Amino acid sequence: MELTILGSGCPSVDIDRYGPSALIDCGEGSRILIDCGSGVTQRLLEHGVKGSEIDALLLTHLHSDHIVDLFQLIISSWHQGRSKPQKIFGPIGSKKYLEQLMNLWRPELEQRIAHEKRPSTKALNIDVTEIDNGTLMKFKGLSVKTVEVLHQPVKKAFGFIFENSQGKIVISGDTKFCPALIEAAKGADLLLHEVFIHNEMPVIDGIRTPQTVKNVASYHTLDSEVGQIAYLANVECSC
């Protein structure tokens, strides 16, 4: 089981950091994409994996920076020859979001389907499963369990625990300090945890007020806390 960080950025545009996304690759087993931030399809290709080869997409939450390239993943996977529906797992609201997203693009898609005569349109069928705390998902050679994390005012946000015979990897998603996530990560081989770095988000006149920085920091994990989380969870490795 291998974890690749495809993007570690945030809504701010950055030429060095793409939007949040990660790939869990089990070799002969499943390839699972977590979140779908800006640039995800290019980063996948750079890594040698086509979006069309993804078995499932898991969404930690529905913040825009985590889902903004979802349609790009769907359309480019179709163009790469995907011949099966997209499987997507996400919090409540995911079904409605995908329905509205596909409806928004329907006129363009119908025109393309009629004109381009590609061999299959199955890649444009979206199979959405809504998850909650403790949902267990089974994939070939891999099980994934959800843990609800703390990202209020976002109503539902999740971390994921990936386990198979090769080990245990935990991804926090966006959260402030979260005891349930620490408990879920106990003994993991690898913990990928989000972090808010104050130096990277200063108050700037006309862009961010002191209240903006305070409020954004309040639903993330501070850089002064993240090391303690790795220690409390007793993980082999954290990043």
Interface residues with Zn ion (CB under 5 A)?
A: 63, 174
CA distance 160 to 169: 8
> What is the nearest approach in angstroms of Zn ion to the Cβ of residue 10?
8
CA distance 46 to 55: 18
- Would you say 149 and 159 are in contact if contact means Cβ atoms under 8 Å apart? yes
CA distance 183 to 185: 5
- Would you say 122 and 130 are in contact if contact means Cβ atoms under 8 Å apart? no
> What is the nearest approach in angstroms of Zn ion to the Cβ of residue 61?
6
Return the number of the residue (218 or 224) whose C-beta is nearest Zn ion.
218
Return the number of the residue (51 or 91) whose C-beta is nearest Zn ion.
91
* Helix (H/G/I), strand (E/B), else coil: 129: strand
Return the number of the residue (102 or 216) whose C-beta is nearest Zn ion.
216
65 is catalytic: yes
Return the number of the residue (66 or 145) whose C-beta is nearest Zn ion.
66
> What is the nearest approach in angstroms of Zn ion to the Cβ of residue 126?
22
Tokens 């609201």 belong to 93
> What is the nearest approach in angstroms of Zn ion to the Cβ of residue 8?
13
Return the number of the residue (140 or 155) whose C-beta is nearest Zn ion.
155
Tokens 């501070």 belong to 222
> What is the nearest approach in angstroms of Zn ion to the Cβ of residue 11?
9
CA distance 188 to 191: 7
- Would you say 56 and 25 are in contact if contact means Cβ atoms under 8 Å apart? no
CA distance 158 to 16: 26
Catalytic residue among 25, 65, 69, 174: 65
The two tokens of residue 48 are: 């040698």
Catalytic residue positions?
A: 65
